[in-house]
Amino acid sequence: MNHYDVLGVRPGASPHEIELAYRSRRGQYRPDKYANADADTLQWATDKMQEVNAAYAALSNPDNPKSAASSPPTHNDPPPPRATEARSARASLQEFSHARLAPYAGFSRSYFAPRIPVKKLSAARGNYAADLRMVCKTGPSLA
């Protein structure tokens, strides 16, 4: 994982953003916060805090921007996806969506109705669209 991922910031983040992210992560992974937890949890928090400190040290060092841009990959990093894997995943997603949406093939449009309180909707309709009809859950009605 690179330093930007550890702190949860984008690669072009400003020093102020890096500082804020560091403070947030520092509070999140403080080992003394997990003092009453089991040994594994305490070790996990300590390891995460060390990663956060190392990432902040690298990213906040203005003298060495090259080391801030990248860090050596760790054994936890997944290998980069291959083009064929991405294509097969895309194809399987398309097959899945076609299979799941097949019963609805006759519908050409989808409408999504937000849940707006009737009083608020009536007031807005009166101000902006007095000539529109209101549609209820059970079907259209003339308002």
Q: Where in the chain is the domain with CATH 1.10.287.110?
A: 1-98
Eight-class DSSP state of 135 = E
Whole-angstrom distance between the N-terminal and C-terminal Cα of the chain? 58
% residues pLDDT > 90 (the chain): 8
CATH number belonging to the domain at 1-98, selected among 2.30.42.10, 3.30.9.100, 1.20.58.2030, 1.10.287.110: 1.10.287.110
pTM across the whole model: 0.45
Sorted by sequence, the CB contacts under 8 Å of residue 49 that are 6+ apart come out as: 26, 29, 30, 31
- For the stretch 116-140, pLDDT in tens is 777 777 777 777 766 666 555 555 5
